[in-house]
C-alpha cells in the first residue's frame, strides 16, 4: 500500500530518521535551519479517493502550519499499518505502536459501553445536532473525551461518514412491516438486534464478501452511508431499492495514543486540536457537498430511492425501542441526556 507523506519540510538538506520511543513517531532534523520535526503516523481505513483521506491530508497540512513545522503527519490509507483492519489499527494505537487512528464508535464501544450511545438507531435526528454536539468544546465531546482517555486515547475530532441508509433487492420500504422476512446483513450487535426486532433474518457477513453475497442472493439487504460506501462500492448495481431513513449516524473518532498526547507540550496540543477541528470540518463539508450527486448516481442507474418522512422514521424507532434499555444501562446518564433520552 502506498504511503502518502502529507507534510514535508520546506527545504530538505539532510533527513535522518530515528526512533522516538514507545509512543511511536519519528524525528527528522534540518541541519541548515535547525528544524526538528516529529513525524506522527495516522492510519485510516478509507481509500485514497475518499473524503476521509482528503480530510486527513488537510489535518496534516494544518498540523505543520500550526506547529511551525515541529510536527508532521504521515497518512496511511486502507488501514495499511493495521494489516487492513480498523480494529487492529485501533488496538495498535491504544498500545502506542501507531500514533493516531480514524476509528469507529462501534469499536470503542467494545472497550467502553458509553460509546454505544453514538450507534443507537434513530437517536441522531439531523446534521444540525451533529454540528452542535460532535465538535470540540461541546459538552458531549468533553464527556466522550473523558471516556476515551479512560481506555488510552485522546479524542481529537469526529469525521463524518454519514447516515447508514438501507438498500435491498426485494421491495420498497416505507413501514416496519415491509421489513418482515428480509435477509439483512449488519456488521454489529446493535444492528443485528434492531433488524431482528423489525422481523428480519439478520446476519453478519464480512464487508469484503458483501457485494457477492447480495449479488448471489445470500442476503437481500444491508445498510451503509450512501456517499462513503454504497456508491463508491457500487452496491446499487445489485440493490434496486434504496431507503433514506437515517438509521444510524456514523461519526468516526480521530484518536491519538494518550501517552503520546501527554508527552506533547500544551502549545502544540492546542495547535493539533485546532488542526483536527478544522481539518475534519473540511472533510464533513466535502461529504455533504457530494451527497446529492451520489443519490443522483443511483437514480440514474435505475434505482428507486425512497426518503422517509419524520413520521415514518418515528414508526421504525418505536419498533426497535425494546432494545434501548439493554444498551442504555451501559451508558452514563450525562451522555444520554445530551442525546435527549434517559434510562
Greatest CA separation found in the chain? 71
**Three-state SS annotation for 213-254:** HHHCCCCCEEEEEHHHHHCCCCHHHCCCEEEEEEEEEEEEEE
pLDDT of residue 3: 43
| Dist CA 101 CA 116 (whole Å) | 19
Cell 418522512 sits on residue: 309
| Dist CA 42 CA 155 (whole Å) | 13
CA 335 to chain centre: 19
* Contact (Cβ atoms closer than 8 angstroms) between residue 80 and residue 4: no
The three grid cell numbers given for residue 147, joined into one nine-digit string: 471516556
3-state secondary structure of 77: coil
Count other Cβ atoms within 10 Å, centred on residue 214: 23
pLDDT of residue 339: 96
pLDDT of residue 9: 34
Q: What is the DSSP code (8-state) at residue 172?
A: -
pLDDT of residue 29: 57
pLDDT of residue 26: 62
pLDDT tens, N- to C-terminus, the chain (343 residues) = 444 444 333 333 333 333 333 345 666 654 445 669 999 999 999 888 889 999 999 999 999 999 999 999 999 999 999 999 999 999 999 999 999 999 999 999 999 999 999 999 999 989 999 999 999 999 999 999 999 999 999 999 999 999 999 999 999 999 999 999 999 999 889 999 999 999 999 999 888 899 999 999 999 999 999 988 899 889 999 999 999 999 999 999 999 999 999 999 999 999 999 999 999 999 999 999 999 999 999 999 999 999 999 999 999 999 999 999 999 999 999 999 999 999 9
Cell 535547525 sits on residue: 34
Global pTM value: 0.85
Amino acid at each position: 500500500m502506498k504511503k502518502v507523506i502529507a507534510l514535508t519540510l520546506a527545504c530538505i538538506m539532510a533527513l535522518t530518521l530515528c526512533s522516538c520511543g514507545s509512543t511511536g513517531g519519528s524525528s527528522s532534523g534540518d541541519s541548515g535551519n535547525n528544524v526538528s520535526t516529529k513525524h506522527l503516523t495516522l492510519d485510516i481505513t478509507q481509500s485514497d479517493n475518499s473524503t476521509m483521506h482528503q480530510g486527513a491530508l488537510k489535518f496534516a497540512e494544518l498540523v505543520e502550519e500550526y506547529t511551525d513545522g515541529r510536527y508532521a503527519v504521515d497518512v496511511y490509507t486502507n488501514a495499511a499499518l493495521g494489516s487492513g483492519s480498523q480494529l487492529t489499527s485501533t488496538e495498535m494505537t491504544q498500545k502506542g505502536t501507531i500514533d493516531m487512528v480514524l476509528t469507529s464508535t462501534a469499536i470503542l464501544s467494545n472497550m467502553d459501553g458509553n460509546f454505544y450511545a453514538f450507534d443507537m438507531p434513530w437517536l441522531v435526528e439531523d446534521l444540525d445536532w451533529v454540528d452542535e454536539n460532535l465538535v470540540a468544546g461541546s459538552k458531549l465531546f468533553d464527556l466522550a473525551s473523558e471516556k476515551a482517555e479512560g481506555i488510552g486515547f485522546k479524542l481529537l475530532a469526529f469525521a463524518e461518514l454519514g447516515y447508514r441508509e438501507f438498500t435491498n433487492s426485494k421491495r420498497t420500504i416505507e413501514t416496519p412491516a415491509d421489513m418482515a422476512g428480509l435477509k439483512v446483513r449488519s456488521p454489529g450487535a446493535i444492528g443485528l438486534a434492531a433488524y431482528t426486532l423489525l422481523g428480519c433474518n439478520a446476519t453478519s457477513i464480512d464487508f469484503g464478501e458483501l457485494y457477492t453475497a447480495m449479488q448471489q442472493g445470500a442476503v437481500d439487504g444491508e445498510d451503509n452511508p450512501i456517499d462513503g460506501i454504497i456508491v463508491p462500492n457500487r452496491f446499487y448495481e445489485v440493490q434496486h431499492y434504496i431507503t433514506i431513513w437515517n438509521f444510524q449516524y456514523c461519526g468516526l473518532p480521530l484518536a491519538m495514543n494518550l501517552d503520546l498526547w501527554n508527552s506533547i507540550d500544551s502549545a502544540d496540543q492546542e495547535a493539533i486540536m485546532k488542526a483536527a477541528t478544522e481539518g475534519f470540518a473540511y472533510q464533513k463539508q466535502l461529504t455533504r457537498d457530494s451527497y446529492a450527486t451520489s443519490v443522483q448516481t443511483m437514480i440514474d442507474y435505475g434505482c428507486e430511492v425512497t426518503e422517509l418522512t419524520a413520521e415514518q422514521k418515528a414508526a421504525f424507532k418505536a419498533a426497535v425501542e425494546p432494545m434501548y434499555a439493554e444498551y442504555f444501562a451501559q451508558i452514563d446518564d450525562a451522555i444520554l441526556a445530551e442525546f435527549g433520552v434517559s434510562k
